[in-house]
Amino acid sequence: MSITDITHWISGTPDPGEGERRQEVYNPATGEVSGSLHLGDERDLQKTLEAARAAADSWSEASLSRRMAVLFKFRELVHSHTQELAAIITAEHGKVLSDAAGEVGRGLEVVEFACALPQTLKGEYTEQISSGIDVFSFRQPLGVVAGITPFNFPAMVPLWMAPLAIATGNAFVLKPSERDPSASLLLAELWKEAGLPDGVFQVLHGDKEIVNGLLTHELVDAISFVGSTPIARHVYETGTRHGKRVQALGGAKNHAVVMPDADLDLAADHLSAAAFGSAGERCMAVSVAVAVGDAAEQLVAKVGERARSITVGEGTQDGVEMGPLITPASQDRVRRLVTEAEQDGAAVVVDGRDLVVTGHEEGFFVGPTVLDRVTEAMSAYEEEIFGPVLAVVRVDTLEDAISLINANPYGNGTAIFTGSGHSARTFQSRVTVGMIGVNVPVPVPAAQHSFGGWKDSLFGDHHIYGPDGVRFYTRGKVVTQRWPAQNDESGASLNFPSNG
């Protein structure tokens, strides 16, 4: 198998950079090395940021209609390259092709929202707030924005950030995950083909050396980060200490509550899709089912049945529903947490630990796994498993379910399956979680709204994309103006200005 040389994208062109370090990129379905990634160093960082700074200065002056022409063209190009992007994602991430195309589709929604920026960005104007005085407010770009993204959505998460950062007039530097970096380069090519000036969208690969460089560099004005909680916390603390605006989205432990009055077949269908889709490597995956009262017995049986029927294999093959995990380390983590849960008294209802996919013996696979009678004290409950494992916790009442969720340090997404509007309303009002589904297991907001968790799932004041995205990538200005007549003699006084 040939090994692709994966370069940075600096000033509108592929660039191997000066950094001498490399990292191998794998096809997780086969375990083979597919790429050799250039990791940037401080010289590459400096070069990229200087290009971004220069590009930001002129791009911020481009009219909204010129920026929108690029955005509309980019939308068409991403749309027409969906299958190509999906193939790149599947080859490096492992998720099935239809799921990869789905993430491109969700990213496109943000591009479409950004295409409406002239409407969204309209300012406010108050005429004659005082005699002869008008006040108006508007928002301007920040300058250079860096986006640091995780492996699990190599196209969608960059598309949560870049379209709005660019539409609002900033230059954007993407530091993609080093595990599946290639989708970012096709996105870079499409931005260029759409007419975006060189330097407005750049890709700089690297590991913590580049991340820490971005967090502290004087040419960076803001950071959007998505990844695990410990790194999100580090990014937020370091970036803000260096005077940058930061939004840092972290990890998750998403609970879905199943009430006894729920349609249990519908709940089991949705729970297994939400737990095992993309091998559980979604920040909005349901990893804990909270079975209330006598919902538990039937729910566990139904989810177990569905888990056993899932076809696991290489994501490019027809009929495959679930692919491998991203690395052997992920495989080890998931197996370890299942084993520890079993040792601590959980029942392993469906066991994916020893799954071998014929013809892909070296792939990083773990099969769908269902754990029952999981408790809060178990490591499988405390840690983010980030694999195809659904842990069932049994509780007596809705109150108990809400207490469990609210005691959890994460607060990304949650859901309730119920036939009762009152239970749903109580739940949505009381849970300390940012995104809530009612009979919807994965409540990722549409692009007209913003995405964000609470507690350890998000550090910062702004959620990502949607209206909060526009606010994050811009800052406000308010103008108070008077245009007196030439012979105006109303004069000025030393008193504090008052309206009249």
Check residue 274 for interaction with ligand NAD (CB under 6 A).
no
E strands, 20-164, in order: 22-27, 32-38, 124-130, 133-141, 144-148
Check residue 252 for interaction with ligand NAD (CB under 6 A).
yes
Take residue 265 and report the two structure tokens written for it: 């077949």
User: At 283, which amino acid appears?
Assistant: C
Check residue 41 for interaction with ligand NAD (CB under 6 A).
no
Collapse the DSSP code of 433 into the 3-class scheme (helix H, G, I; strand E, B; otherwise coil) and give the result: coil
Q: With DSSP H G I counted as helix, E B as strand and the rest as coil, what are the percentages for the chain, rounded to 5?
A: 40, 25, 40
Of 161 and 398, CB closest to ligand NAD: 161
Whole-angstrom distance, CA of residue 316 vs CA of residue 323: 9
Site string for ligand NAD, 363-392 (x = CB under 6 A): ---------------------x-x------
Check residue 442 for interaction with ligand NAD (CB under 6 A).
no
Q: Which of 17, 107, 150, 411 binds ligand NAD (CB under 6 A)?
A: 150
Site for ligand NAD in 213-232 (CB under 6 A): 226-228, 231
Check residue 251 for interaction with ligand NAD (CB under 6 A).
yes
The least CB distance from residue 99 to ligand NAD, in Å, is 14
* Segment near ligand NAD (CB under 6 A); pick from 161-169, 244-252, 347-355, 483-491: 244-252
Report in angstroms the alpha-carbon separations of 100 from 84, 93, 95, 161, 321: 10, 9, 6, 18, 12
Check residue 211 for interaction with ligand NAD (CB under 6 A).
yes
The least CB distance from residue 148 to ligand NAD, in Å, is 5
The least CB distance from residue 92 to ligand NAD, in Å, is 12
Comparing C-alpha atoms, which of 446, 469, 477 is closest to residue 114?
Answer: 469
Q: Which residue, chain included where needed, has tokens 């509780």?
A: 395
Known catalytic membership, residue 115: no
* Segment near ligand NAD (CB under 6 A); pick from 53-61, 122-130, 134-142, 250-258: 250-258
The least CB distance from residue 42 to ligand NAD, in Å, is 15
Beta-ladder partners of 488: none
Check residue 482 for interaction with ligand NAD (CB under 6 A).
no
Check residue 453 for interaction with ligand NAD (CB under 6 A).
yes
Report in angstroms the alpha-carbon separations of 379 from 113, 374, 480: 40, 10, 58
Report in angstroms the alpha-carbon separations of 450 from 21, 115, 141, 237: 37, 16, 19, 23
Check residue 249 for interaction with ligand NAD (CB under 6 A).
yes
Task: Classify strands 458-459 and 133-141 as parallel, antiparallel or unpaired.
Answer: unpaired
Check residue 163 for interaction with ligand NAD (CB under 6 A).
no
Catalytic residue of the set 283, 300, 322, 346: 283
Measured from each CB, the residue nearest to ligand NAD is 227
* Segment near ligand NAD (CB under 6 A); pick from 13-21, 131-139, 144-152, 193-201: 144-152
Phi/psi of residue 120, each to 5°?
A: -65, -30
The least CB distance from residue 235 to ligand NAD, in Å, is 7
Take residue 303 and report the two structure tokens written for it: 């989810």
Site for ligand NAD in 86-125 (CB under 6 A): none
Whole-angstrom distance, CA of residue 498 vs CA of residue 481: 14
* Segment near ligand NAD (CB under 6 A); pick from 124-132, 142-150, 185-193, 369-377: 142-150
Count of residues binding ligand NAD (CB under 6 A)? 27
Whole-angstrom distance, CA of residue 213 vs CA of residue 87: 32
Question: Residue 484: is it exposed, middle or buried by C-beta count within 10 angstroms (0-12/13-18/19+)?
Answer: exposed
The least CB distance from residue 201 to ligand NAD, in Å, is 17
Q: Which are the catalytic amino acids?
A: 283
Which residue ranges make up the site for ligand NAD (CB under 6 A)? 148-153, 157, 175, 177-178, 207-208, 211, 226-228, 231, 249-252, 283, 384, 386, 412, 453, 457
